[in-house]
Amino acid sequence: MTTTDHRSPSRGATVLLLPLLIGALVALALGVYGRAHTPTGFAVGVAGFSSALPMKVWLTTGSFVLAIVQVVSALSMWGRLGVTIPPSVHRWSGRLAFALSIPVAFHCLYALGFQYDVARVLVHSFLGCFFYGVFTAKMLALPKRDAPGWTLPVLGGLTFAALVGLWLTSSFWFFTAVGLKV
């Protein structure tokens, strides 16, 4: 005897509506706040760094490196590597990557706001909002057992792509324009 999955294809996609909606609202709220808030022009808590920009660059680079660990460990968890990496590596690298991103996002929103005068900075601002929106959607979709099988790889891939874009439009730009400054 075979068992039949009685879930309708639309049921699986329906469970994603709320996580995707909340993620979109997070991205929108960050963008609106960043645009409506009058930037202060100064940062808080740059201990150990010469200024806010190097702090943001190095913390973003740390998040970027941990995001690579996320991709490798996710591939391992999905059986794509032939090597087993403990799931705890995936969980903790994600937690640390997210924790490193918080002071950067705080500084960007509080001190600089959503900027659009320079194309690189506009793309960076959009990617920052998108990153937190898609990350929120991924975290909310994570416990949904009825979600389609593509959910976590797609949302995780979008989160990774957004972080790569953030790194390219900030840290990589800084390293090539200014140099390796702490």
Higher pLDDT, 114 or 63: 63
Count of Cβ atoms closer than 10 Å to residue 157 Cβ:
15
Please, is 101 exposed, middle or buried when counting C-beta atoms within 10 Å of its C-beta (0-12, 13-18, 19+)?
Answer: buried
Q: Give the Cα separation of 81 and 33 in Å (integer).
A: 41
> Average of pLDDT values for 155-178?
94
Q: What is the pLDDT of residues 10-38, one digit of tens each?
A: 666 788 999 999 999 999 999 999 999 88
Closest CA to 13 of 176, 138, 117, 147: 147
CA dist., res. 127 & res. 143, Å (int): 25
Distances (CA, A) of 58 to 28, 40, 109, 169, 179: 26, 22, 18, 13, 12
Query: Mean of the pLDDT values across residues 49-77?
Result: 92
pTM of the model: 0.87
- The Cα-based distances of 110 to 61, 113, 144, 159 in angstroms read 20, 6, 34, 22
Instruction: Name every residue whose Cβ is closer than 8 Å to that of residue 106 and which is 6 or more positions away in sequence.
Output: 44
Q: What percent of the chain has pLDDT over 90?
A: 65
